[in-house]
Amino acid sequence: MVVMSVGNGSMPMRWVEPGRCVVNVSDGALENCNGRYEKRLADLSGLYANQMAFDSLLRESGNPVVYSVEDYRLSSKPGDLIFGLTSMAPGYVGDEFFLTRGHIHAEADRPEIYYGQNGDGLMLMESPDGESRIVEIRPRTICYVPPFWIHRSVNVGHENFVMTFVYPADSGQDYEIIARSGGMKQRIVRTESSGWKAVPNENYRPRTADAVQRISKGVA
């Protein structure tokens, strides 16, 4: 740890150490990370349209890990950054591709950058008032998630979909915003030609004008 004196000579200042993390694409691992979580199929119950397909996949598959997140975070202070790696297995429930739970940042005006490392995926985004956007992500694609957009990633390929990400350290995550609306407005499903398409989520309930106003802090 480097210790330096500040200008007035009274209190020594302790600088945060620079960091170095190496991405291991094949293992979906971030060397030198200090945080990790994973979501297994059972953790994702209720996200997919076809609950029967979900239940039978869960019975047959032995509850595999669907995605993992490894990150490097030293603080949650404004101005600091959190970065990490997310890796999602390929697969589907019925005709719906594997996806992450998704969230809006608890401090909703905080943006995020994702960078494709492996596989073929999408960032599905939704504004509080129900606009949808989809960004296709392949290796070396940078995806910018602007402030106030709900975001969820979807693996539409046959390999692990791996991305690095970075966001302001004081962002936080609100995972319930999606559940409160009956899911995101769009679902991503297979086509007969083994591509993907977005279809309407029939359970979706639009947010009220008050809710939109609250989330967007008066920006919308």
Report CA-CA distances (Å) from 70 to 22, 82, 101.
11, 11, 16
- Closer residue to Ni ion, CB minimum distance, 94 or 111: 111
Q: How far is the CB of 126 from Ni ion (least distance, A)?
A: 13
- Closer residue to Ni ion, CB minimum distance, 39 or 190: 39
Q: How far is the CB of 173 from Ni ion (least distance, A)?
A: 6
Interacting residue ranges for Ni ion, rule: CB under 5 A: 112
Backbone angles phi, psi at 42, to 5 degrees: -60, -30
Q: How far is the CB of 208 from Ni ion (least distance, A)?
A: 24
Other C-beta atoms lying within 10 Å of the C-beta of residue 180: 11
H, E, C per residue of 166-185: EEECCCCCECHHHHHCCCCC
**Amino acid identity for residue 25 in this structure:** V
Q: How far is the CB of 61 from Ni ion (least distance, A)?
A: 27
Helix (H) or strand (E) holding 186: strand 186-190
- Closer residue to Ni ion, CB minimum distance, 57 or 125: 125
- Closer residue to Ni ion, CB minimum distance, 156 or 163: 163
Total residue length of the chain: 220
- Closer residue to Ni ion, CB minimum distance, 144 or 217: 144
Q: How far is the CB of 104 from Ni ion (least distance, A)?
A: 8
Residue showing the smallest CB distance to Ni ion in the complex: 112
- Closer residue to Ni ion, CB minimum distance, 110 or 185: 110
Q: How far is the CB of 167 from Ni ion (least distance, A)?
A: 6
Distance of CA 65 to the CA centre of its chain: 16
Q: In 3D, which of 156, 45, 46, 152 has the Cα closest to residue 95?
A: 156
Backbone angles phi, psi at 37, to 5 degrees: -145, 160
